[in-house]
Amino acid sequence: MTNGWIDIKNTDMMLIMGGNPAENHPCGFKWPVEAKRERNAKMIVVDPRFTRTAAVADKFLQIRAGADIAFLGGMINYALENQRIAKEYLVNYTNASFVIKEGFKLPDDGLYSGYDHDKQTYDKSTWNYEGAGAHQAPSGKASQSGEAPAPPLAPRQAPPPPSLPPNVIYDTSLAHPRCVYQLLKQQYSRYTPEMVERITGIPKDQFREAADMFTSVRKDGDMKKVATIIYAVGWTQHSFGAQIIRAAAMLQLLLGNIGRAGGGVNALRGHSNIQGATDVAGIFDSLPGYLKVPNPTDKDFAAWMTRITPGSSKPKDWDSFNYYSNTPKFAVSFLKSMYGDAATKQNDWAFDYLPKVDREYSWVHIWDDMYQGKVKGVLSFGMNSVAIGPNSQKTINALKKADWLVVCEIYPDETSEFWKSPGISTDDMKNIPTEVYRLPGAGFAEKDGTFVNSARWLQWKWAAVPPPGDCQLDQAILARIFLKVRELYQKEGGKFPDPILNLTWNHLDPNNPSLSELAKELNGRAISDVTDAPTQTTMKAGQQLPGFSWLRDDGSTSCGNWIWCGSWTEAGALTQRRGTDDPSGLGIYPNWAWSWPMNRRVLYNRASCDLNGKPWDPDRRQVWWNEAQKKWLGVDVPDFKPDSAPKDHMGPFIMNPEGVGRLFVPLAGMADGPFPEHYEPFESPVANLFHPQQNTNPVVKKYTSDMDKYGTPDQGFTVICTTYRLTEHYHYWTKNNPMNVQLVPQMFVEIPVELAADLGIKGGEKVKVSSARGTYIAKAMVTRRIKPMTIDGKKVYQIGIPIHQGYRGIQEDAGRESKTLANLLSPTVTDPNAYTPEFKGFLVKLEKA
């Protein structure tokens, strides 16, 4: 979330789409309801189903699953056509005025300029700003801060990727034919209400009403009102998911809603700590704090830094903070946290200890590689891989080829018991060589530590009870495993033991590291005395650092995750704070827990003010420029250079090298285009109306093993299927919990009344859903909440499947529920940016079971 849960109460207008917060985030949903009750805010809900969120909305539109970009593109077009835009914000806080290079081509035929049909990737060199003067190489801080410039790369290595021009040509009249604004208009002029209707199935009058309602916050140029966009995995789980979110962000930039109380683009996130897992890089493609992992073209630390540290790129008369220019400080401090004294300037901060990767290792790749026999062992801690990923049978078949599997869980789950999943006989088991260890971990109430919620709050929790039976704390289990491996390398040697032997392990009880020790390590400390030049204050060696501005690239600081620096300082654990004061009344609660970065509650909040630093809405003041004190003040922590006067025209989006919000994403920012374009889901019953010859995302990730089958309408797969959670259940977890089982005892398939009538299916009867990959059997829920849709004159049905059924659970074990998984149906197709699978909107066949 750019904003936070409570902040939603400050809004005047909500678009809830790709998310169903009433069902999946009920306690957060109180704040949208509060906005309705206290501000008469309007709520627009767009979803393939009439959900429990829709039940309390002011306007509901039923959309075809996967047609989101067409809808949002239509909204952008409506805002531009009707001048429902925030002009001053647009010109000064976004790249609307930036001129794009000649040779850039919009995707009228479905392809942007630079497409390579053979490799199915883009050469993005034309996706760039036009620079003034000679084009310079990027100048990262690494080379500016006195380190030797990187020597030329070895000839066999790829040339450095094109970079942003430091001095961008721009036109604040927005009239230049190649400026972002004009390209944007051109791109979305195709997304007319008529096209929106033909693609999404939403009648154009209804679409216009919704577009009028949402953009009404900018009626007649008024800047006081604010609209928010709220989404979840209904947007991310598509083969173009990241671009849907881009489209939403663009709409919000056009309307000037980002950075403002009651505004923003708000990812609800689905689980207690996946925000934290992303922040601390529990994912293959980043290191903690969103640092990009090194790849083989980075011959040394300096080369890595040069590649990932952006130089600023802006109009000559503007200023840009370009916060990522500090990247080397974050990276060195991270390596010091990892390897302590073993990371020295002389050994390039132990740069070689980090694995160098130049391919994708995302979730779906794990099982593809394992199915090919390449991945031999898996450690799965609290992650039910078989049930959670797409194409569960492929995951099961892959696990059959592994040598070993370690599962740490609190309940018997589908993954640890993959070897006895339905259809596998005792004889078959003899041929499954996988050795499976199932280790009983601790539940949430038995552990302390922090989660990061979707509002970026780190909140400490306290353990209430000890783990039952022989269960152990997860951190103790992982520690014991690691220490055993380290012991073996110490005794026996082996391949490159250095990083294993030198990993920092400063725990009072090495076998059971305390989470507070790790939390302090994540925050970071001074290794030797560090002095802050502006304030002339010094942190002594060993002291916890107060914030990431203290981090250094000379080895004098250590920090596990720079964005969490400031969470556990000399003042103690700020994540444990329980202050209930909210002096501004905006729901900021500055003394409750701690929010990254630097306890800021609304990101980009400089944009809540006009060019002169005055809040757009004086009744919702967040930050403001104080001319007398020459600094930014606020009820929230200003997300800005504190002393940058408005006249300097520093952009509010300080994490971008441009300093402004990106309507157009240049270069490698996105894999599939600088603007979002409507593509059909990988399996779709209709052709792409914009460009039937380029139906789906041209750079979509798909797989080629014999388990990766994709269906077409010609094969009889004509019904669109989407999967989701129910409010009564939580993934594959509460099927072990009697009270939740009681609420929804058996899983079902939601089927439109009309489709059920066509097939002679009555509510409560068993139905079979088949995709090209597998089948799913459950009871029919025949409902009016999903209506048949007309897509370009063709009747199209959608059905929905809640995902909570499995092989093990109270009902499954009692024989009251068929043993099956919704993800036996879903395809191994992912978004090319985020590698998230397309769980929403694939093709199936429906019949009586």
Partner 1 sequence: MNPTRRSFLKIGTGAAMASVLGFDLKAAYAESKELKIARTTETRSTCPYCSVSCGVIIHTIGDKAKNVTPQVVHVEGDPDHPINRGTLCPKGSSLMQDIVNDRRLLKPQVRRPGSDHWEDIGWDQAYAEIGRHIKKTRDESFITTDSQGITVNRVESIAWNGGCTDTNEFNYLAVKTMRSLGVCFIENQARV
Partner 2 sequence: MSNGTLEIKAISGHAGPVAGRDTSRDYDVCKLIDVTTCIGCKACEVACLEWNGYPFRETVFDNTYQTMPDLAWNYYNLIRFNEHVAEDGTFSWLMRKDGCMHCADPGCLLACPADGAIVQYANGIVDFNQDNCIGCQYCVTGCPFNIPKFNHETKKVHKCTLCSDRVGAGLEPACIKACPTGCLHFGSKDDMKDLADKRVKQLHEHTSHKSAGVYDPPGVGGTHVIYVLHDIDHPQYYGGLPKDPRVPLLVRIWKGPLKWLGNFAIAAGVIAAATHFVRYGPKKVEEPKKEEVV
**799: three-class secondary structure by DSSP:** strand
Binding mask 140-159 for partner 1 (x = CB under 8 A): ----------------xx--
Q: How many residues bind partner 2 (CB under 8 A)?
A: 40
How many angstroms separate the CA atoms of 23 and 504, rounded?
A: 43
Residue 756's closest CA among 779, 723, 790, 735? 779
* Minimum CB distance to partner 1, residue 308 (Å): 16
Report yes or no: 836 and 439 within 8 Å, Cβ to Cβ.
no
Out of partner 1, partner 2, none, what residue 37 binds, judged by CB under 5 to 8 A for its kind, is partner 2
Tell which positions 248-277 bind partner 1, by CB under 8 A. 268-277
Q: Which residues contact 46 (CB under 8 A, 6 or more apart)?
A: 15, 16, 17, 60, 61, 63, 68, 71, 202, 210
Interface of this chain with partner 2, residues 713 to 732, rule: CB under 8 A? 727-728
| Closer Cβ to partner 1, 313 or 472, answer by number | 472
What is the C-alpha separation between 791 and 25, in angstroms, rounded? 31
Selection from partner 1, partner 2, none that 763 binds (CB < 5 to 8 A by kind) is: partner 2
**In 453-513, beta strands by DSSP E:** 457-461
Between 55 and 357, CB nearer to partner 2: 55
For residue 755, what is the enclosing H or E element?
A: helix 753-759
Q: List binders of partner 2 among 735-774 (CB under 8 A).
A: 738-746, 748, 763-764
Among 455, 527, 559, 846, binds partner 1 (CB under 8 A): 455
Residue 746, binding choice from partner 2, partner 1, none, Cβ under 5 to 8 Å by partner class: partner 2
Q: Which residues pair with 775 in a beta bridge?
A: 770
Nearer to partner 1, 262 or 513 (CB): 513
**C-beta of 464: minimal distance to partner 2 in Å?**
16
Task: Give helix 68-81 / helix 193-200 axis angle, nearest 10°.
Answer: 170
Closest Cα to residue 264, out of 455, 28, 452? 455
From 524, 67, 66, select the one nearest 330 (Cα to Cα): 524
Is 458 a binding residue for partner 1 by CB under 8 A? The answer is yes
Residue 598 touches which member of partner 2, partner 1, none, C-beta under 5-8 Å by kind: none
Residue from 296, 572, 583, 745 in contact with partner 1 (CB under 8 A): 296
Position 785 contacts partner 1 (CB under 8 A):
no
479 binds partner 1 (CB under 8 A): yes
Shortest reach from residue 59's CB to partner 1, in Å: 24
Per the structure block, which two tokens stand in for 510? 């090495």
Tell me whether residue 270 is exposed, middle or buried, using C-beta atoms within 10 angstroms of its C-beta: 0 to 12, 13 to 18, 19 or more.
middle
User: Which residue, 369 or 728, is less far from partner 2 as judged by CB?
Assistant: 728
Question: How far apart are CB 696 and partner 1 at their closest, in Å?
Answer: 20
User: Do residues 840 and 722 lie in contact, with contact meaning Cβ atoms separated by under 8 Å?
Assistant: yes
Beta carbons within 10 angstroms of residue 183's beta carbon: 22
What minimum distance in Å lies between the beta carbon of 540 and partner 1?
24
Shortest separation between residue 291's beta carbon and partner 1, angstroms: 12
> In whole angstroms, how close is the CB of 823 to partner 2 at the nearest point?
21
Select from partner 2, partner 1, none the partner in contact with residue 780, using the beta carbon and a kind-dependent cut-off of 5 to 8 Å: partner 2
d(CA 330, CA 564): 11
How far apart, in Å, are the Cα atoms of 559 and each of 278, 378, 534?
17, 28, 21
d(Cα 392, Cα 709) in Å, to the nearest integer? 13
Q: Which of 98, 231, 564, 710 binds partner 1 (CB under 8 A)?
A: 564
**Residue 779 binding result from partner 1, partner 2, none, given CB thresholds of 5 to 8 Å by partner type:** partner 2
Shortest distance in whole angstroms from residue 34 CB to partner 2: 7
784 binds, among partner 2, partner 1, none (CB under 5 to 8 A by kind): partner 2
Rounded to whole angstroms, the Cα distance separating 189 from 185 reads 6
Q: Which residue intervals of 28-67 are DSSP H helices?
A: 30-39
CB of 615 to partner 1, least distance (A): 23
List b or e across 582-619, with b for residues whose CB sees 16 or more CB atoms inside 10 angstroms: eebebbbbbebbbbbbbbbbbbbbbbbbbeebebbbee
Q: Which of residues 413-442 bind partner 1 (CB under 8 A)?
A: 416, 419-420, 426, 429-440
R_g over Cα of the chain: 27
Residue 780 makes contact with partner 2 by CB under 8 A: yes
Is 702 near partner 2 (CB under 8 A)?
no
CB of 30 to partner 2, least distance (A): 5
CB closer to partner 2, 58 vs 813? 58
User: Of 159 and 815, which has the nearer Cβ to partner 2?
Assistant: 815
DSSP 508-524: SSTTS--HHHHHHHHH-
753 binds partner 1 (CB under 8 A): no
435 binds, among partner 1, partner 2, none (CB under 5 to 8 A by kind): partner 1
**Residues in 17-76 at the binding interface with partner 2, rule: CB under 8 A:** 22-23, 26-27, 29-30, 33-34, 36-37, 40, 50, 52-56, 58
From candidates 782, 824, 829, 846, binder to partner 2 by CB under 8 A: 782
Q: Are 241 and 234 in contact (CB under 8 A)?
A: no
Binding to partner 2 (CB under 8 A) within 790-819 occurs at 816
Distance of CA 240 to the CA centre of its chain: 13
Interface positions with partner 2 (CB under 8 A): 22-23, 26-27, 29-30, 33-34, 36-37, 40, 50, 52-56, 58, 727-728, 738-746, 748, 763-764, 779-785, 816
